[in-house]
A and B are shown apart, each in its own frame.
Chain A
Amino acid sequence: MSQDIAAYTAPFAEVAHQRTVFPEGLALDCGATVAPLAVAWRAYGTLNAARSNAILVCHALTGDQYVAETHPLTGKPGWWGNVVGPGLPIDTERYFVVCSNVLGGCMGTTGPREPRAEGEEPWGTDFPQVTIRDMVRAQHRLMEHLGIGRWLAVVGGSMGGMQVLEWAATYPEAVGAAAPIATAVHHSAQNIAFDEVGRAAIHNDPDWRGGRYWEDGSLPARGLSVARMVAHITYLSEQALTRKFGRRLRGASALTFLEDVFEVESYLRHQGSTFVRRFDANAYLTITRAMDFFDLAAEHGGELAAAFRGASAAGTRFCVVSFSSDWLFPTEESRTLVRALNAAAANVSFVEIRSDKGHDAFLLDEPDFHRTLGGFLAGCAERLGV
């Protein structure tokens, strides 16, 4: 058996993630309990004596806790290295920045890839269906463990933004400020549809083996890479794809019927193939489902504004940001959110950043966005005397 597990993890380099284990586990929305609960996390900067300068960064679907440092597995720079760091909008010289791998993820936090218990086989498809709120509860455990009573701010884009909203709804007293970026209060039918294409690609890969691919050391690499390719298209705008690739051919001057002729094809295939080396297929299924299930209004009797009454009363300040060319989480979704926040009389700022880079803009070099986020956080810190 131990051999099986070694084979299962073979495509992944063995990395010991920094993590905290909570033996009592975590009760989930679905009724199940995962125990023990492990939360893998990274922190940057210094927590001040008053413990008032902590910012939680929530990562997106395929992100992880390595926000602002070289990734131990891929060797690539942190996914938000242009936002989190000394002198950057989330200034690590001023704030103590924490980011944890989400529940259900595959970078050290309890999820389908992790063994059920020491020496046992991985959870695999038996891992219970978690929700965004479960992810937030796991982060709340970490917050208590770190001795932090209240985040100066909780910040995140895309699925990270969903967690930010869930934080404000579930633990309003613990959220000084909330910055949900390029996100929505639920997935649209279109979002769910794209996720389902990705899941179907994984399910239909013969190597998936009903989710027990780890038993014989295989990987549903084709299915997972197709899922990544489809998803990647949704992260970019048409203009961004055109600008990057146009109809350029790769190593050829004219169209032939050979494979891989357009540069955009080769790019997507590269995206797909590198992804399977760092992401677990069952984790992908679990997390995309959690995003699809997320519906903040439904959690509050169908009235979205009700989700924010607590945050409004607690004085949580919101900064909602959308990007004009993001068609995965369009600006209109952010407006819906802003209107509900206004209806709850919450303190809210909102800007739509003009960008042609699509949903991915929140990860890229967008000076207006960085100025907005940095100014918002600095204003909150000033107000709270940090």
Chain B
Amino acid sequence: MRATDTTDRAAAPAQGRLRDRPAGRLPGGAESRPAGHPPVRFVAKNMRLDLRLIAGMIPHGARVLDIGCGDGALLDHLTREKGADARGIEIDMEEATRAVAQGLAVIHGDADQDLAFYPDDAFDYVVLSRTLQAVEHPREVLAQMLRIGRHAIVSFPNFGHWQMRWRLLVTGRMPDTETWNRPWYETPNIHPCTIQDFFDLCAKDGYEVEQWLAVDERGLRSPWRRFVSLANLFGEQALFLLRRADGIPPRAAPATPG
């Protein structure tokens, strides 16, 4: 969630609200609003495509924590349409303020710092969308997500996409694409990974992949469901639904504040 620092934001004011997002804008998203725009109620059709895919994975009435919830589009949708008990964490103060002012339960906080304070199994689903690559300790964050939630939903931009490989091969420099659009020295995306890498980490840490899908540049679900290596080449974004593998207890809860 260490999406950007203030210097970055100050230097790039023209990018609209999306500048606060670490990376990976999906085509077809309609979330960009000029700064200062009055808060609006969200409706599902206006929701970012990946958020709609995520919402589709969450059953009615679930307890949900959305990490990096922005101004709360997913929370609002889940609360209104699915009767969910939906809460959020957002690192950007303006976004968090906007969400709270809409009556959503959002705390101004940080995935790296704040997850440790929730009790085990506090949620049915913990969502981390397009933020994993920007946190300081992704493995720890993932472990926390699957401690405080029974399921985790994670989406991230796939660094194994053919454009990345091609540009690195041809130019010999860090790829510069629509998704990965910041120079290496100021990108907030400090922990990029590929779909293959993510599968490996899940296996290593004992997370069961209940569902996964790759999305192409046009925001459509890609057809390479059966071949991870193809998805890893052509999927621009990845979306995973995880749970703790059977018989593995959550990691010990850290000390709660006194």
| Complex CA distance for A378 and B41, rounded to whole angstroms | 14
> In the bound complex, do residue A376 and residue B103 qualify as a contact, i.e. CB atoms below 8 Å apart?
yes
Determine how close the nearest CB of chain A comes to the CB of B124; give it in whole angstroms: 13
Q: Interface 1/0s, chain A 363-383, versus B by CB < 8 A?
A: 000001001101110111011
| Complex CA distance for A155 and B103, rounded to whole angstroms | 16
Contacts of B119 in A (CB 8 A): 343, 345
| Complex CA distance for A349 and B99, rounded to whole angstroms | 9
Q: Is the interface of A mostly helix, strand, loop or mixed?
A: helix
> In the bound complex, do residue A379 and residue B114 qualify as a contact, i.e. CB atoms below 8 Å apart?
no
The reply on B164 being an interface residue by CB < 8 A is: no
> In the bound complex, do residue B106 and residue A339 qualify as a contact, i.e. CB atoms below 8 Å apart?
no
- Given known A305-B257, A349-B107, A350-B107, contact A372–B97 (CB-CB < 8 A): yes
Determine how close the nearest CB of chain B comes to the CB of A55; give it in whole angstroms: 15
Contacts of B104 in A (CB 8 A): 349, 379
> In the bound complex, do residue A343 and residue B96 qualify as a contact, i.e. CB atoms below 8 Å apart?
no
Q: Interface 1/0s, chain A 314-335, versus B by CB < 8 A?
A: 0001011000000000000001
Contacts of B118 in A (CB 8 A): 342-343, 345
- Given known A349-B107, A352-B108, contact A304–B101 (CB-CB < 8 A): no
Q: Which of B101, B105, B256 contacts A372 (CB 8 A)?
A: B101
Interface size on B, residues (CB 8 A): 25
The reply on B122 being an interface residue by CB < 8 A is: yes
> In the bound complex, do residue A339 and residue B117 qualify as a contact, i.e. CB atoms below 8 Å apart?
yes
Q: Which of B93, B97, B122, B257 contacts A304 (CB 8 A)?
A: B257
| Complex CA distance for A297 and B257, rounded to whole angstroms | 10
| Complex CA distance for A348 and B99, rounded to whole angstroms | 12
Contacts of A103 in B (CB 8 A): none
> In the bound complex, do residue B97 and residue A343 qualify as a contact, i.e. CB atoms below 8 Å apart?
no
The reply on B192 being an interface residue by CB < 8 A is: no
The reply on B138 being an interface residue by CB < 8 A is: no
Q: Interface 1/0s, chain B 111-147, versus A by CB < 8 A?
A: 0001001110010000000000000000000000000
| Complex CA distance for A302 and B255, rounded to whole angstroms | 13
Instruction: Name which of B99, B102, B107, B119 has the most chain A CB atoms within 10 A of its CB.
Output: B107
Which residues of chain A in 262-287 are interfacial with respect to chain B, using CB atoms and an 8 Å cutoff? none
> In the bound complex, do residue B256 and residue A351 qualify as a contact, i.e. CB atoms below 8 Å apart?
no
Contacts of A371 in B (CB 8 A): 97, 101
The reply on A338 being an interface residue by CB < 8 A is: yes
| Complex CA distance for A345 and B119, rounded to whole angstroms | 7
The reply on A219 being an interface residue by CB < 8 A is: no
| Complex CA distance for A343 and B105, rounded to whole angstroms | 15
Q: Interface 1/0s, chain A 54-76, versus B by CB < 8 A?
A: 00000000000000000000000
Interface size on A, residues (CB 8 A): 35
Instruction: Name which of A304, A317, A350 has the most chain B CB atoms within 10 A of its CB.
Output: A350
| Complex CA distance for A362 and B240, rounded to whole angstroms | 43
Contacts of A336 in B (CB 8 A): 257
> In the bound complex, do residue B105 and residue A317 qualify as a contact, i.e. CB atoms below 8 Å apart?
yes
Determine how close the nearest CB of chain B comes to the CB of A357; give it in whole angstroms: 16
Contacts of A375 in B (CB 8 A): 39, 100-103
Q: Interface 1/0s, chain A 344-358, versus B by CB < 8 A?
A: 010111111110000
- Given known A348-B107, A349-B104, A375-B101, contact A342–B117 (CB-CB < 8 A): yes
| Complex CA distance for A347 and B101, rounded to whole angstroms | 15
Contacts of B114 in A (CB 8 A): 339, 342
The reply on B48 being an interface residue by CB < 8 A is: no
Contacts of A299 in B (CB 8 A): none
> In the bound complex, do residue B97 and residue A379 qualify as a contact, i.e. CB atoms below 8 Å apart?
no
Which residues of chain B in 210-258 are interfacial with respect to chain A, using CB atoms and an 8 Å cutoff? 256-258
Contacts of B257 in A (CB 8 A): 304-305, 336, 339-340, 343
Which residues of chain B in 76-93 are interfacial with respect to chain A, using CB atoms and an 8 Å cutoff? 85, 87, 93
The reply on A303 being an interface residue by CB < 8 A is: yes
> In the bound complex, do residue B258 and residue A297 qualify as a contact, i.e. CB atoms below 8 Å apart?
yes
| Complex CA distance for A317 and B86, rounded to whole angstroms | 13
The reply on B206 being an interface residue by CB < 8 A is: no
Determine how close the nearest CB of chain A comes to the CB of B82; give it in whole angstroms: 15
- Minimum CB distance partner of A302 in chain B: B258
6 A-B residue pairs with Cβ-Cβ distance under 8 Å, sorted by A, are A297-B258, A317-B105, A349-B99, A350-B107, A350-B109, A372-B101
Measured CB to CB, the residues of B under 8 A from A are 39, 85, 87, 93, 96-97, 99-109, 114, 117-119, 122, 256-258
Measured CB to CB, the residues of A under 8 A from B are 297, 302-305, 317, 319-320, 335-336, 338-340, 342-343, 345, 347-354, 368, 371-372, 374-376, 378-380, 382-383
